[in-house]
Amino acid sequence: MQKKVTKAVFPIAGMGTRFLPATKATPKEILTLVDRPLIQYAVDEARAAGITEFIFVTSRGKGALEDYFDRAPELEATLKAKGKTDLLELLQATNLDSGAIASVRQNEALGLGHAVWCARHLIGDEPFAVLLPDDVIAAEKPCLQQMIEAHAETGGNMVAAMEVPAEKTASYGVLDVPSAIGPVLPVHGMVEKPAPGTAPSNLAVIGRYILTPQVLRNLESHQTGAGGEIQLTDAIEKEIAAAGNVYGYRFQGRRYDCGSKAGYLQATVAFGLARDDLRDDLEAFLYDMLAMRQAAE
Ligand code: UTP
């Protein structure tokens, strides 16, 4: 029986350079998808998967992310006084209990592996989840929940994986798997951002992980990898030879890369179309735009 996964790390200390100039003064993770910041999608996914302790790895200028999950007594009182119960419920659903969020600082953006290592004292000696909030996943059953259920059978380390076109593999960590049948894939190797044409497969790692505390110990050496950054992939990769307990998990759902402008715009349209209150107007607008573009060609 595996120890239950109850802690999740949210690395939010990156600089978000792909989103400049917006991220000059606003954390990327507070950018809004329809009416909720990216970080809320990740926190809600973790809550639905049974996570009770939320660890934010932050940096300068990210205070808004912690405030967001706090109570807003004045706003709540005003909505209550005005009888706006729907809005009040919406607002209260964003509150996390006292003590549920802990945060640690990453003083310098040295890479995702380093960010996760910064949370080591709060994680202790138990398996934990990592969620990158700029990967937003639309799924019937939340992606992390799918993974936690699979992890209850396998134990070890698990990374979310999805197929990407061959020309995109250089942007991801890529899995070497002997067989790509079924959702749970034992991993024989991992390469962070392989040079074009050298990827071992087209299965890319995306921002959901369940990791053993040994991965934190592997990060202790602060070894740099691709791009001169301390890579989480490298620390997980070490466990393949040492323990043979790394699994890829092909989740059901669609992932949007909201750390890139194109992915963020696609997510905005997809999540807008999924909303009953927005669908009709948005759909009509999109048809109009397309018709106008076609007429202009
Ligand atoms: P990204 O690779 O998207 O980096 O990090 P970034 O800095 O956020 O964005 P770009 O590439 O410059 O546009 C993936 C996740 O890891 C976190 C980021 O905040 C993001 O959630 N991260 C990355 C850290 O917390 N610390 C780091 O040193 C690097």
Q: How far lies 274's CA from each of 141, 142, 282, 287, 288, in Å?
A: 16, 16, 10, 16, 19
Residues with a CB atom less than 6 Å from ligand 1? 11-19, 28, 57, 106, 109-112, 114-115, 132-134, 259
Cis check for the bond before 21: say yes or no (omega within 30 of 0). Answer: yes
103 to 63, 65, 91: CA distances (angstroms)? 10, 10, 22
For residues 81 and 33, the answer to whether their CB atoms sit within 8 Å is no
Those residues with Cβ within 8 angstroms of residue 228's Cβ, 6 or more apart along the chain or in another chain: none
The confidence band for 1, taking pLDDT boundaries of 50, 70 and 90, is low
Cα(13) to ligand 1 centroid in Å equals 7
Query: How many whole angstroms from its chain centre is CA 174?
Result: 17
Give 119-129 pLDDT, tens digit per residue: 999 999 999 99
pLDDT for 43-78, tens place per residue? 999 999 999 999 999 999 888 888 899 999 999 999
For the chain, the distance separating the N- and C-terminal CA atoms, rounded to the nearest angstrom, is: 62
Q: Report the residue among 19, 131, 132 best suited for mutation to probe ligand 1: largest number of ligand atoms under 8 A from its CB.
A: 132
Q: Mean of the pLDDT values across residues 74-90? A: 94
Hey, which of 15, 17, 136 would you mutate to test ligand 1's pocket, going by the most ligand atoms within 8 Å of its Cβ? 15
Q: Which of 108, 132, 60, 58 is nearest to 228 (CA)?
A: 108
**Distance of CA 110 from the midpoint of ligand 1 (Å):** 9
Residue 243 to residue 254: CA distance in whole angstroms: 31
- Token pair 């009040």 is found at 88
Among 23, 39, 134, 209, residue to substitute to test ligand 1 (most atoms within 8 Å of Cβ): 134
Amino acid at 21: P
pLDDT tens-digit map of 17-29? 999 999 888 899 9
Check: CB of residue 103 under 8 Å from CB of residue 220: no
List, for residues 141-192, the tens digit of each pLDDT value: 999 999 999 999 999 999 999 999 999 999 999 999 988 788 999 999 999 8
Query: pTM (2 decimals)?
Result: 0.95
Domains, the chain, ordered by start: 7-253 (3.90.550.10), 260-297 (no CATH)
Q: Which atom of ligand 1 is nearest to the CA of 11?
A: 25
10 and 42 Cβ atoms separated by less than 8 Å: yes
